[in-house]
């Protein structure tokens, strides 16, 4: 009887151990597990970078190192909470671009840079108002393309060119989910 019970308990333990290794998305399995949010785990920019005020940064950069150096913000940052968890996204508004970060990792990490007008350009020289051909002359053939624009995927991020009336109407650096 005792032997059988012991065997059954061992089976239970093995089942649980097996589940550990089954790759079922076990990151923590807890209440506190945060919703999926884009961020750079090492807080280091990846892929294409944006440069402004002599500061070069990108998706994955730590916000603390960047925001204060970018000059005056045009509006108060807007922070939005996740519906269920503690993670927060914040948008920082500058005259010609917006930077968004989130705090899931415990640090503020940039996951989006959005260029709104032609007073700023990508490090490689692309800006709002260019034709798709002009952009492709700089970056080559895009990784993805649709009626609304085209994208270049690089090292976990996407450089997106949005189109309106046949020209680039906005550019974004965004984490590639």
Segment lying near other proteins (by CB under 8 A), choices 41-49, 53-61, 132-140, 158-166: 158-166
Largest CA distance in the chain: 80
Segment lying near other proteins (by CB under 8 A), choices 45-53, 64-72, 102-110, 164-172: 164-172
CA 100 – CA 87 distance, rounded (Å): 13
Distant-in-sequence contacts of 72-76, Cβ < 8 A, 24+ apart? none
10 binds other proteins (CB under 8 A): no
Sequence-separated (6 or more) residues with CB below 8 Å from residue 78 = 90, 91, 93
- Backbone Cα Rg of the chain: 22
141 binds other proteins (CB under 8 A): no
9 binds other proteins (CB under 8 A): yes
Q: Point out which residues bind other proteins (CB under 8 A).
A: 1, 4-5, 8-9, 11-12, 15-16, 19-20, 22-26, 28-36, 75-76, 78-86, 91, 98, 112, 114, 146-149, 151, 160, 162, 164, 169-170, 172
């Amino acid at each position: 009887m005792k032997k059988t019970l012991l065997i059954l308990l061992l089976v239970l333990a093995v089942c649980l151990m097996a589940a550990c290794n089954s790759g079922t998305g076990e990151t923590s399995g807890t209440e506190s597990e945060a919703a999926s949010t884009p961020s750079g785990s090492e807080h280091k920019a990846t892929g294409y970078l944006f440069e402004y005020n002599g500061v070069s940064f990108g998706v994955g950069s730590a916000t603390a190192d960047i925001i204060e150096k970018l000059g005056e913000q045009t509006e108060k940052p807007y922070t939005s909470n996740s519906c269920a968890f503690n993670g927060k996204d914040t948008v920082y508004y500058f005259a010609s671009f917006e930077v968004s970060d989130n705090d899931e990792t415990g640090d503020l990490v940039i996951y989006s840079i959005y260029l709104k007008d032609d007073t700023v350009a990508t490090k490689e020289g692309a800006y709002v108002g260019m034709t798709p051909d002009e952009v492709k002359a700089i970056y080559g053939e895009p990784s993805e393309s649709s009626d609304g624009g085209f994208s270049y995927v690089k090292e976990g991020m996407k450089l997106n060119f949005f189109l309106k009336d046949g020209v680039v109407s906005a550019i974004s650096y965004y984490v590639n989910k």
